[in-house]
């Protein structure tokens, strides 16, 4: 099959590209245009020579349509994902996450694509109103980022209901692992400890998160794409376990054999009404429809991530906070 992955230079998408190549797919990777012809995390990939690279912008309909043309399946992962930056430039999130999704959906419709897998986020649920969170949980976005992703989700499902486009909405909870941005909590903690910091600058440490290792998230995407039962459906990808940020920091410090203290950095703290206090998934629907479940334990996933970051310390600037 010929498969398009948008946002292919990113964290999850680059792992997905590798998984598709291992399965024997012909992969077209849509990478955001840059004048240096850099391919993001695909530069770090052993399969980069097996991938067809298309440089462009998901906000450009003509280019998106040309990338979709001839593909059987589209995995749509291109998005602005940094929650703090969505407070700075909400409109950028609307243009990329909503308009960009429209471009992918419309192009897929016109090109008769056999399956579109659209990427959602657990952030659209907001703080859990009940746990574990299933797909029937109310949608309550608490940041411009989450609102843009919720809008894109509803747009994707509307294309299935209105035009018969075979769409699946995959909703990962918090994915972590090699290649994750330093904006995320796990790389932030690991990089500060590796740089010898005994006092870590962090935001709120009381929220809980359901953490899924990258390879499990990728296998979830693939399982969702393979199953006819997921067409027109939204499915959660998560472990069904939660941990507080504070306990997560202790676990990482233990793996690295360090003792650390935490200081609150105001620029890392979300506005009070925007903080999502609790996310805990119910992945039962995904398991029932496809048989998928997360296999990598948090301890194993963190250990793998630590070892990967040890070998690439220069990629992370622990002393700089970038929204």
Three-class secondary structure of residue 56 per DSSP: strand
- Contact assessment for residue 13 and residue 51, using Cβ atoms and an 8 Å cutoff: no
Joined together, the tokens standing for residue 215 give 């390879």
Query: Which of 93, 102, 145, 316 is the catalytic position?
Result: 145
**For 33, phi and psi rounded to 5 degrees?**
-60, 140
Joined together, the tokens standing for residue 27 give 């992969």
**For 178, phi and psi rounded to 5 degrees?**
-55, 140
Taking CA atoms, 319 is separated from 181, 189, 200, 231, 301, in Å, by 14, 11, 10, 45, 25
Element (H, E) at 32: strand 26-32
Helix pair angle (245-256, 185-194), 10° resolution: 40
CA distance 216 to 237: 9
C-alpha dihedral sign at 39, 215, 293, 141: negative
Give the up-direction half-sphere exposure of residue 174: CA atoms within 13 A in the CB hemisphere: 26
CA angle 39, 43, 44 (to 5 degrees): 145
Is 130 annotated in the active site? no
Active site residues: 145
């Amino acid at each position: 099959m010929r498969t398009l992955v948008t946002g292919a230079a990113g964290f999850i998408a680059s792992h997905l590209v590798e998984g598709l190549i291992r399965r024997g797919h012909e992969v077209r990777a849509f990478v955001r245009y840059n004048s240096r012809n850099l391919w993001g995390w695909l530069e770090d990939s052993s399969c980069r020579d097996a991938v067809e690279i298309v440089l462009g912008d998901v906000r450009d309909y003509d280019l998106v349509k040309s990338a979709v043309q001839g593909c059987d399946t589209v995995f749509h992962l291109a998005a602005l994902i940094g929650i703090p930056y969505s407070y700075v430039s909400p409109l950028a999130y609307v243009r990329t996450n909503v308009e960009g999704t429209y471009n992918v959906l419309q192009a897929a419709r016109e090109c008769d694509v056999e399956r579109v897998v659209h990427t959602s986020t657990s952030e659209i649920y907001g703080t859990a109103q009940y746990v574990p969170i299933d797909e029937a949980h109310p949608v309550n976005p608490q940041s411009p980022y989450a609102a843009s992703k919720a809008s894109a989700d509803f747009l994707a499902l509307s294309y299935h209901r209105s035009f018969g486009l075979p769409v699946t909405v995959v909703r990962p909870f918090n994915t972590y692992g090699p290649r994750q941005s330093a904006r995320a909590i796990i790389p932030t903690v690991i990089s500060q400890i590796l740089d010898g910091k005994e006092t870590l600058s962090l935001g709120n440490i009381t929220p809980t998160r359901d953490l899924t290792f990258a390879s499990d998230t990728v296998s979830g995407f693939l399982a969702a794409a393979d199953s006819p039962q997921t067409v027109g459906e939204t499915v959660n990808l998560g472990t069904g376990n939660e941990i507080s940020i504070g306990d997560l920091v202790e676990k990482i410090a233990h793996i690295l054999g360090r003792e650390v203290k935490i200081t609150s950095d105001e620029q890392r703290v979300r506005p009070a009404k925007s903080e999502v206090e609790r996310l805990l998934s119910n992945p039962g629907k995904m398991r029932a429809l496809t048989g998928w479940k997360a296999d990598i334990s948090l301890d194993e996933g963190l250990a793998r991530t630590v070892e990967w970051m040890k070998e690439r310390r220069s990629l992370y600037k622990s002393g700089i906070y970038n929204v």
